[in-house]
Structure 1
């Protein structure tokens, strides 16, 4: 049996007691109290996603071969059972025990949001009406009351399958075949010039063999993502489609930037670009259902300020990794990390600003810096733009950009 957990239990534990009440309440909703029979062995490497705390009973912790007995309610029991980087540790229950299982990614997200002044409500420049709505939405986010979109089933299954050391192309192909749109997109990718497809492939298994397992995983998630960018609110369907179109464009540009260097995985950059504003999806859906008459200007203000915090929760809920969390959290921080090595957020940031500069509507963008004047641009080692403020890299890769966009959503002008 799995018991619910209240905040009074969490606020006594190291690290967790640093969270404010609203954040602690959200964490409690995702925390489980699990029973352990005497003799049960738990390996740290299998629990790396979680922070485990002993709250009842007694267990023996083995670290570097040395046993240490931990009893509930002791000072040591207020600390996580396993250290974050000690994956070779294991513990054995010496009696009937109960262990709290805390989502590490969610804790990191809530802790970071609490410490970053950029999310402080009183520092925003919204109108009174917008500020009130912002406050309501923010509280719904940090208390877990705003529903997160679900990762498409085919993407969830491919995530689990790739972690299996016994996986093979035949089993992966059966998963991909669950979704016909993903099936077609994957075969199209394998036959494109992007992957050197000289002889055409006609089935999913051969496509997976050509692409490799890692690229297959990234592409399956990316192609399936179109299912996420949807709303049942008729008045916002156009907005959601525009959000998807922008995301696909930034995704294709990110892919090309990653291929230009040697540091990055192009498929991972593609997924990062596709998700850089994914936090807008649940926000739009909420606003459409609860504030159907809100003006576009107000919607834009709320989306711009809240999509990073919302997007980080979505990406963490899907288990897509810390680098993608960084992308959605920091893609609007144009002066970020000026002295650190380039990362995927730098790639997406430049792609995002480039897409804004050369948006298809031809409208001038005045509230963001030029894409070639941010630290990320210099860190990526890119050449100066031409007289039309375009990059030769993108001009020369126009066909490649079209192919990526076509793979994600069907034929579309670059």
Structure 2
């Protein structure tokens, strides 16, 4: 059942970003919106769909299910219900009505047009959690345009290198030989050189040095080769054409590299997980920040303020990073790690330890090492620590492992710095 019906302005103001609109704009929006009811168990939104609509939950309870099987519920009137449901497009969640409910549905282009012309106050800016800008300033108008581009899926997204794609395809085939995989890698001289240098590093060195890509593939094995090729191809993603924004990219690369090194050491020393998978998950955990920085190239006036840029990145990177990894066809474990890397209380549905647990632990350690620990949770309260079970990695033990493994951490950092 659906109907067009004027909604009370007071009710519309409960939702973000509708609260930034004037009374006249809300009346216009209400006249163009659709009110739709759903029964228990009815599918509301399909994952992967790009429909150009915003769904605001007016009544009832809904369930969101991600590609990795994780579910969450949203109850009308709660804090989560103040924002559009599953707003990133293509949709990243399947949305099902848990009870009888009702939605207000608005076309994104209608909402974006109204937001661009909406007046802005300092309180409105704080509501968006991105800060900055004076009332009516050009900077804030551009900021609204930035959000509109995100909602309408106009965001420029990076891509994986051709060689990384082809290596992944080759290693997926059971009949691929080391010679065939080496031929694919050899198409990129830069990655070829990095792989040989990595194979001769203290992390992978054998009794003698290797000289060819084929010898490197044989020594490393197809799984490690695949992960390292992807790791080396990622460096080019952390690049900007604007010198003034390359600083943000470099900071992001350094942070990602540090977390990746800690992931490798923790996974190798204290878990049963593949260290190279943990390394790659750590390197990709902040991937969602890259499109934000790339988009900022067109709006330098806004993002010249590093604090403002950091706040926008923190707000948007989990969903954008997860969407990117899904697009690149990464396993669900990597998608989950990107989405929940800084969700300290996250607990995966699986009983066994997951990549996301190692990334969370590495993030915590990195922040402590950088003296950012004042607002961090106590180690014993973080589910990722408790999930280690028989591995018995306590807070003090993990710090001890990392201190003892500083040389190996440095080696991993060098591996990621190979030019």
Interval containing the TM-score (normalised by the shorter chain): 0.5 to 0.7
Give the equivalent residue in structure 2 for 1:239.
Answer: 248
Q: Is the 8 A contact 1:190 1:201 kept in 2?
A: yes
User: 1:370–1:245: structure 2 CA closer, same or farther, 3 Å change rule?
Assistant: farther
Q: Is the 8 A contact 2:348 2:354 kept in 1?
A: no
2:278 equivalent to 1:269: yes
2:355 equivalent to 1:354: no
SS at match of 1:210: helix
2:320 aligns with one of 298, 303, 310: 310
2:385 equivalent to 1:377: yes
Q: Is the 8 A contact 1:338 1:375 kept in 2?
A: no
Measured after TM superposition, the shift of residue 144 of structure 1 is: 2.2
Give the equivalent residue in structure 2 for 1:58.
Answer: none
Give unmatched runs, 5+ long, in structure 2: 1-40, 54-88, 99-124, 134-138
SS at match of 2:307: helix
1:342 aligns with one of 353, 358, 373: 353
User: 1:126–1:191: structure 2 CA closer, same or farther, 3 Å change rule?
Assistant: closer
**CA–CA distance in structure 2, aligned partners of residues 202 and 321 of structure 1:** 32
Give the equivalent residue in structure 2 for 1:298.
Answer: 308
The within-5 A match list for 1:56-205 is 109-111=92-94, 125-127=129-131, 136-195=145-204, 197-205=206-214
**CA–CA distance in structure 2, aligned partners of residues 137 and 369 of structure 1:** 32
The within-5 A match list for 1:214-293 is 214-293=223-302
TM normalised by structure 1 equals: 0.66
Give the equivalent residue in structure 2 for 1:320.
Answer: 330
2:341 aligns with one of 327, 331, 337: 331
User: 1:23–1:332: structure 2 CA closer, same or farther, 3 Å change rule?
Assistant: farther
SS at match of 1:201: coil
**CA–CA distance in structure 2, aligned partners of residues 355 and 399 of structure 1:** 16
User: 1:409–1:278: structure 2 CA closer, same or farther, 3 Å change rule?
Assistant: same
Measured after TM superposition, the shift of residue 336 of structure 1 is: 0.8
**CA–CA distance in structure 2, aligned partners of residues 370 and 181 of structure 1:** 43
Q: Is the 8 A contact 1:279 1:308 kept in 2?
A: yes
Q: How many residues align?
A: 310
Give the equivalent residue in structure 2 for 1:93.
Answer: none
Q: Is the 8 A contact 1:233 1:285 kept in 2?
A: no
Measured after TM superposition, the shift of residue 143 of structure 1 is: 3.2
TM normalised by structure 2 equals: 0.66
Give the equivalent residue in structure 1 for 2:413.
Answer: 405
Measured after TM superposition, the shift of residue 181 of structure 1 is: 2.9
**CA–CA distance in structure 2, aligned partners of residues 281 and 107 of structure 1:** 18
1:331-363: CA deviation from partner (whole Å, max 9, x where unpaired): 12111118843210110111011111112xxx5
**CA–CA distance in structure 1, aligned partners of residues 47 and 128 of structure 2:** 20
Two-structure CA RMSD over aligned residues (Å): 3.5
Q: Is the 8 A contact 1:154 1:175 kept in 2?
A: yes
User: 1:261–1:196: structure 2 CA closer, same or farther, 3 Å change rule?
Assistant: farther
2:18 equivalent to 1:18: no
**CA–CA distance in structure 2, aligned partners of residues 304 and 253 of structure 1:** 21
Give unmatched runs, 5+ long, in structure 1: 1-13, 27-105, 116-120
**CA–CA distance in structure 2, aligned partners of residues 122 and 23 of structure 1:** 29
User: 1:392–1:321: structure 2 CA closer, same or farther, 3 Å change rule?
Assistant: same
**CA–CA distance in structure 2, aligned partners of residues 15 and 172 of structure 1:** 47
Q: Is the 8 A contact 2:191 2:232 kept in 1?
A: yes
1:352-390: CA deviation from partner (whole Å, max 9, x where unpaired): 11111112xxx544333355642212323313327xxx7
**CA–CA distance in structure 2, aligned partners of residues 343 and 133 of structure 1:** 40
SS at match of 1:278: coil
2:377 equivalent to 1:394: no
